[in-house]
Structure 1
Amino acid sequence: MKNTFYTVWIGSLSLAIHTAIASAETDLTELNLEELLSVKITSVSKKTQALGDAAAAVFVISHDDIKRSGATNIPDALRLAPGIDVGRIDANKWAVSSRGFNGRFSNKLLVLIDGRNIYTPAFSGVYWEMQDVMLEDVERIEVIRGSGAALWGANAVNGVINIITKHSADTQGGLLSAGGGSEERGFGAFRYGGKLNESTSGRAYVKGFERDALARASGRPAGDAWSKMQGGFRIDSDWSTADSATVQGDVYHSDLNQQIGLAMLAAPFRETIADQAQATGGNLLGRLQHRISDTSNYVLQLYFDSYDRRESFIEEERYTGDVDFQHRFALNDWNDIIWGAGYRYTYTKENQVKQSIFNFTPRNGATIILVRSCKTN
């Protein structure tokens, strides 16, 4: 069936027109406690398990939660998770952390989008303004509050946030979403999904927005308006009950205005510089899964990610390639063995435009990360 709905927020009006076939989604408010604990998650032990069986403090933000919240970006959607601190610094920057110690460059929090690590080794954190997905395509966000480092590595000491998008077979048809207001001047997205053959489905999308600057206490604009355009695709192929593959990718470009405060040795001891940053990037991911039995499977994943961020004081280019293999099997009735190997290569090049603000030595270089993990339950 087709549906049209209207959402009204304070200070802005949003109109969304959906032409996709509505799928039957479970209403979590109608589930009892036992059914809620049986919701399937994958982020805690790198395998599908019931929420009640997970040996971690994990919270799931569902697709319906995001839709009803009115969130238009990932940081605002994360406000729904208890224990996650989300602070908005200006119109285009957020500070997101777990277990306190929040700040612009908070680290030790692993953030994944469909298994792709989006943190930058520049400060072991996330440029949240550079990360975006079409929220209508998000199936769920799994949030682990606490150390997930046993399986995910040192960057997961404070927690893991895993953003999981829907299978392309669940997003068939067209969807158009658009809106505007006093702060979010204009935003829109278009996505279309279809069948490529009997076992393969795909979707493609394009989205963009323009957001106004915040206002200072005096009423003057804060000079932090920004805009962004992004597009991407996803193809899923389930050629047998045991084998499946996924290929997906995104490209984006954004213009970000910002005000930079610099310390001075003479009065007034602070100088404010108006700057316009530009960020361009893209990624490509491929994943192959094979189910050997009900208690055994393996996953091979590869991705390439790059971005070019240019500000008045520094220009940074980063290229990352990653390959990860994981195998799970049951040793007996009460033990699961999960082992794997990963290899990541990252290359960066920095051009220090103003060395008085930051200093990188050397200006370019490469980092190789080799990870192996093993866990017994």
Structure 2
Amino acid sequence: MQLVQQKRYAEGIAELEKANEILPHPNVVFNIARARAEAGELDTAVAGYKEYIATNPPDRVEVELVLAQLEDRLAAQKVAETKPPAPEPAGPTPIAPGEVPTPPKPAEAKSTEPQKPAAPIPQAIVGEARTEDVYEETIITASRGKQSPLDAPSSTTVITQQDIRLSGITRIPELLRRVAGMDVMEITGGDSNVSMRGFNSRLANKVLVLVNGRSVYNDILGSTFWELLSIDVDQIERIEIIRGPGSALYGANAFAGVINIIPIAPGEGKPGLRVGYGDQQQAYGSAWATGRQGDIGYRISAGYTRYPKWTREIDGGRSDVLFAPVNQFTGAESQRIDIRTSKRFGKDMSLDVGGGYANSKLDVYGIGPLNEYNFDAANGDITVDFKSKNFNARTYFTRLSGTGQAAYDYIGHTLYTSHPRQNVFNTEAEFVGTFGENITHDVHFGLGYRLKDVSWEYLRGNDIEHHGSTYVQDSIHFGKQFNIVGSGRLDYVPYLKKIVPSARASVIYKPTDRQAFRLVGASAFRSPSFLEAYVGLPIMLSVPGALYYSGNGREDGSRLQPEQIISAEIGYLNQQSDLFEFDVTAYYQRVTDLIAVQDNRNVTLSDRLRGAGGFDPSAGRYIATFGGFTNQCDTHNVGGGELGARVYPVEGLDVFANYALNVSTQDKPSSCAIPEDKRTSRHKVNAGVQVRTKMGLNGEVSWHYQSAQVWQEKIATADGVVYQQFDVRAYMLLNARLGYRFYKDKAEISGTVFNLLGDSDSDPLQMHPYGNRIGRRFMAFFTYSL
């Protein structure tokens, strides 16, 4: 664009065409057409504007007026070129008597110089140039509005379509592993748990996961079932990761951060399919259709995945064990369909309507003494999303239901068969406005309501909760260098019967346009899940006739308090060079009131006098001890840092690497007997290389290292539920993919390998003490797009 502004049109157009060949974008097509028009090349300019209009851009009406004026000029130019020349005299001019004849003029030599193009077209006709960098990375989750990561008030990372495609990874949690500070723990083929900056766990509950801004939080257990999403990785445009507390904008459960999975928009891209098959009967299938008719776009996708368990924990020949009537080798088997449409109303207004459905058989690990659990579940949503310049609104309904039971237990025990159900209705409205001149304010104000309707045989208490929220955010810009962002939110939590506040403040200083310093302070909370708040679960002990009752009743009438976090961080991001970028962050977190399984308490005479304990007819056993959930008495002080870089030495070659440090200590009063928490690896490293060649070969090699951990887990014994300590050794993962594109880049064959070095029976990789022992996996894929 700088070359075009300097009127070096041929050079500028050549660069733009090269960019559009690598990654097509309508704005680049517009700028090429505009440059040709400025240069007077009306034929190719008109063709370029028509190509741009065919993408149905928001400013289609304005550009159609530009095109009409250019077509009029082109028609007039062609008429002028075809106008016949003045006629030549029919013969020699007669000579009067005595007149000297004039010698004929010599024929003019034809010029060999190239013809100059027609006069340039004024800017008033060709339209305003698209000066924004369409290839620049953008974030919408950090501030609920589109912005550069340089302007974001939190630490951010984007996983792009290129990262997804070149990695060959088909599971979203494994994609997240490549991000600095992320904790990813794979327990079975269908159970992956994700946290950030520590505190990962079974049924991980410290991160809020969104799909295009819609929460997919499981209110029953407080976790995310990744295999129950109605989209697969081929439908994802990008994944935005916001590290650090996010409750100031997103409320309860955005405790450690936010992950927003942003699908490809309706009408974008091309139809296609991808199928894959691998060892141990792994399978993957995805097909999608997309198109646009005028202002209406649509996208329809369907998919299937099957991931086996890495290992089976109990041999099928055991005569003393009762097994659930499911395939004991299945980690996850899922079918999904997703339909989304979008309607434009002018340049700044749109309405999106759609829904998705997924059915999955999952093998997951619960918390406390209830370990391997099979869940046959269905999950669906209906979503309506309205966007305009100053007002946004979203309403959605989701339903999760299914049948769950323990994978196995001893003969004479129960499999705890149950039928969980969750209905959620959510609506939110947001007002957006910008005002000011020298000092500008970008203000967001929102209101929200969430209805939770939950039932489960092992819950005692409220089935329906009404949640309300309000938030405000002001981004104050002082020129181009300083930006102050203040965010605050109030959430009403029915279980707590009170309003919980959250806040975030950020100061951003940009010494240049392409580098930024960031100072952030924030608070967040996680409210108790329905399981933690209303549990009423009888658990059979190994002692015949004895029962451990996990319940939410408290003798003093108190309630669980929300988990709380206060965080401070300082960061620096540098994107000065076209050849590399890097960022560095240091943070401190103070965490209190973590919710955990409480120590068991034996039944006493006073319990019997007030009617507690005794024989439980539903289980046919006597209650010997009580349990449930409690807030831990310790305070966690967590310090750490993240360093990441990405290098682009030549076109088609990307090198990335990052490192995360996490150091945690605990403050405990003398009466607090909580074990030392060492479940977070102190060191994590990622590194990788991506390659794209013009001949069609492409791929990636990535490496991950994680240092050792020590897990404190509670298990059921004859004496009740007690802590035990488990060591998890340090491990490495080496993953690779190689692909070849052919048939005009429409088709591709590829192969991927997960854990290339990990096939040792003597020292297998294990990410959790209860988890499967993870080996090597291969998959082959075929992809085709129209």
Give your verdict on TM over 0.5.
yes
- Written as runs of structure 1 = structure 2, the 5 A alignment for 1:105-120 is 105-120=203-218
User: Is structure 2 residue 287 aligned with structure 1 residue 190?
Assistant: yes
User: Is structure 2 residue 420 aligned with structure 1 residue 323?
Assistant: no
Q: Which residue of 2 aligns with 1:139?
A: 237
Q: Which residue of 2 aligns with 1:55?
A: 153
Instruction: State how far apart, in whole Å, the 1-side matches of 2:197 and 2:252 are.
Output: 16
Conserved? CA contact 2:312–2:329, under 8 Å: no
Conserved? CA contact 1:279–1:309, under 8 Å: yes
Which of 338, 352, 357 matches 1:246? 352
- Written as runs of structure 1 = structure 2, the 5 A alignment for 1:1-377 is 24=24, 38-172=136-270, 174-183=271-280, 185-195=282-292, 197-215=293-311, 223-257=329-363, 276-291=374-389, 297-312=390-405, 313=416, 314-332=418-436, 333-352=439-458, 360-362=459-461, 365-377=463-475
Amino acid at match of 2:466: I
Cα deviation for residue 146 of structure 1 reads 0.4
Deviation digits for residues 174-194 of structure 1 (CA, Å, limit 9, x no counterpart): 211101011452221111112
Deviation digits for residues 72-94 of structure 1 (CA, Å, limit 9, x no counterpart): 12111111221111110111101
Please identify, of 183-192 and 67-76, the stretch whose mean Cα deviation from structure 2 is larger. Answer: 183-192
Distance 1:213 1:50, change over 3 A: same
Deviation digits for residues 203-238 of structure 1 (CA, Å, limit 9, x no counterpart): 211111222221269999974433111111111111
Larger Rg: 2
Please identify, of 339-348 and 305-314, the stretch whose mean Cα deviation from structure 2 is larger. Answer: 305-314
Deviation digits for residues 143-199 of structure 1 (CA, Å, limit 9, x no counterpart): 011011211113212001011111112134x2111010114522211111122x310
Q: Which residue of 1 aligns with 2:410?
A: none
- Secondary structure, aligned partner of 2:463: strand
Aligned length: 326
Cα deviation for residue 36 of structure 1 reads 11
Distance 1:240 1:277, change over 3 A: same
Distance 1:38 1:335, change over 3 A: farther
Conserved? CA contact 2:211–2:260, under 8 Å: yes
Structure-1-length-normalised TM-score: 0.79
Conserved? CA contact 1:88–1:95, under 8 Å: yes
Cα deviation for residue 56 of structure 1 reads 0.8
Instruction: State how far apart, in whole Å, the 2-side matches of 1:25 and 1:181 are.
Output: 35
Conserved? CA contact 1:139–1:165, under 8 Å: yes
Cα deviation for residue 261 of structure 1 reads 10
More strand by share: 1
- Secondary structure, aligned partner of 2:253: helix
Unmatched 5+ stretches in structure 1: 1-21, 27-34, 264-270, 292-296, 353-359
Distance 1:232 1:371, change over 3 A: same
Q: Which residue of 2 aligns with 1:29?
A: none
Conserved? CA contact 2:211–2:261, under 8 Å: yes
Distance 1:261 1:124, change over 3 A: closer
Deviation digits for residues 269-318 of structure 1 (CA, Å, limit 9, x no counterpart): xx987x64200121011111112xxxxx2211111101103112232100
Conserved? CA contact 1:325–1:341, under 8 Å: yes
Distance 1:117 1:222, change over 3 A: same
Q: Superposition RMSD on alpha carbons, in Å?
A: 2.9
Amino acid at match of 2:240: E
Cα deviation for residue 361 of structure 1 reads 1.2
Q: Which residue of 1 aligns with 2:113?
A: none
Deviation digits for residues 14-70 of structure 1 (CA, Å, limit 9, x no counterpart): xxxxxxxx96279xxxxxxxx799522100111111111111101111111111111
Conserved? CA contact 2:430–2:445, under 8 Å: yes
Distance 1:216 1:374, change over 3 A: same
Conserved? CA contact 1:56–1:144, under 8 Å: yes
Instruction: State how far apart, in whole Å, the 2-side matches of 1:50 and 1:142 are.
Output: 12
Instruction: State how far apart, in whole Å, the 1-side matches of 2:178 and 2:281 are.
Output: 21
Cα deviation for residue 365 of structure 1 reads 0.8
- Secondary structure, aligned partner of 2:456: strand
Q: Which residue of 1 aligns with 2:640?
A: none
Conserved? CA contact 2:141–2:260, under 8 Å: yes
Deviation digits for residues 246-278 of structure 1 (CA, Å, limit 9, x no counterpart): 112111111234688996xxxxxxx987x6420
- Secondary structure, aligned partner of 2:163: helix
- Secondary structure, aligned partner of 1:139: strand
- Secondary structure, aligned partner of 1:235: strand
- Secondary structure, aligned partner of 2:388: strand
Amino acid at match of 2:142: V
Cα deviation for residue 334 of structure 1 reads 2.6
Conserved? CA contact 1:90–1:224, under 8 Å: no
Q: Percent identity?
A: 25
Please identify, of 213-222 and 330-339, the stretch whose mean Cα deviation from structure 2 is larger. Answer: 213-222
Distance 1:237 1:276, change over 3 A: same
Distance 1:149 1:261, change over 3 A: closer
Instruction: State how far apart, in whole Å, the 1-side matches of 2:393 and 2:371 are.
Output: 48
Amino acid at match of 2:397: F
Conserved? CA contact 1:202–1:233, under 8 Å: yes
Amino acid at match of 2:353: V
Instruction: State how far apart, in whole Å, the 2-side matches of 1:278 and 1:316 are.
Output: 10
Instruction: State how far apart, in whole Å, the 1-side matches of 2:358 and 2:230 are.
Output: 9
Q: Which residue of 2 aligns with 1:7?
A: none
Amino acid at match of 1:339: F
Cα deviation for residue 341 of structure 1 reads 0.4
Please identify, of 253-262 and 139-148, the stretch whose mean Cα deviation from structure 2 is larger. Answer: 253-262
Instruction: State how far apart, in whole Å, the 2-side matches of 1:272 and 1:368 are.
Output: 31
Unmatched 5+ stretches in structure 2: 1-21, 27-132, 317-326, 406-415, 476-786
Deviation digits for residues 305-348 of structure 1 (CA, Å, limit 9, x no counterpart): 01103112232100001111011112323322110101110101
Instruction: State how far apart, in whole Å, the 1-side matches of 2:241 and 2:160 are.
Output: 11
Instruction: State how far apart, in whole Å, the 2-side matches of 1:39 and 1:213 are.
Output: 37
